[in-house]
Amino acid sequence: MKTVILAGGFGTRLAEETTVRPKPMVEIGGKPIVWHIMNIFAAAGHEEFILALGYKGEVIKDYFLNFYALNNDLVVDLKQGTAAIRGGQQPDWQVELVDTGLHTQTGGRIKRLKRHLGGETFFATYGDGLAAIDVNDLLRFHRAHGRIATVTAVHPPSRFGEMCLDEDRVVQFAEKPRSVESWISGGFFVFEPEIFDYIAGDAVALEREPMEALANQGELSAYRLESFWQPMDTLRDKNLLEELWQSNRAPWIRGVAPARVAA
């Protein structure tokens, strides 16, 4: 099954990184976050991807065009002007890179991919969020409910850290505790081809009219994810994900140590 990754936004809230590259190319552990996202799906056997490009899409194209060389050893003969790749194993991924417009909204980007998806059920997600999610379980849930769309519902992390007190003494700082009362979209979707009928054109944001219409018609399911979910909206978020990766505590790697994920 194909996976659409929305990778065209400007990433203005992460301007420290996105002035020179698009947000999906911001690195966690030396790899672009989009690589981490793709590994989530590939771990479940889904290795066909369509990246909806926009802002600085050429940077993403350049990365995948040179993926094999970037992730292997090279032997360069400076005299002859030749290069040979000495490689190890690489992921068996098929990646389509589609320019969906600089100012196109999220729904419009999906609409532009209609002919690439072959009238089949597909996954979709954003190019800036990670989760400890079994996407095959998400797919089973979607099929069991028989609706046009399924959205992953997650608890939002608190905007601020939390202090734990013992009377007048601070005993611990907790990093962004999750809210357990409310749910928001975690950005991991499953869509039937009918989703295209709910998107009028480029100016449509997926999160607005299409989702609202589907909900009103009883065609939107919510898959509740109680485990780890974290967007990369700010530099603080990026640093949190980096810390988890470097300490070998990356929850989005399901039962696999970071060093064993497809390079």
User: pTM above the 0.85 mark?
Assistant: yes
What distance in Å separates the CA atoms of residue 224 and residue 212, rounded to the nearest whole number?
18
What distance in Å separates the CA atoms of residue 217 and residue 87, rounded to the nearest whole number?
52
Alpha helix locations (H) across the chain?
15-18, 33-42, 57-65, 67-70, 106-112, 135-145, 209-216, 235-246
Radius of gyration of the chain (CA): 20
What distance in Å separates the CA atoms of residue 2 and residue 31, rounded to the nearest whole number?
22
Q: Per residue in 129-185, pLDDT tens?
A: 999 999 999 999 999 999 999 999 998 876 656 666 666 666 666 665 565 668 999
> Domains in the chain, please, with CATH?
2-73+84-148+185-208+228-260 (3.90.550.10)
Phi, psi for residue 147 in degrees, rounded to 5: -105, 170
Strand partners, 31: 28
User: Within a 10 A sphere around the Cβ of 246, how many other Cβ atoms?
Assistant: 13
DSSP 218: T
Q: Which pLDDT value is given to residue 165?
A: 66
Give the pLDDT mean for 37-43.
Answer: 96
Mean of per-residue pLDDT scores for the chain: 90
User: Which token pair is 90?
Assistant: 């690489």
Q: Per residue in 64-108, pLDDT tens?
A: 999 988 888 889 999 999 988 887 678 899 999 999 999 999 999
Q: Which pLDDT value is given to residue 69?
A: 86
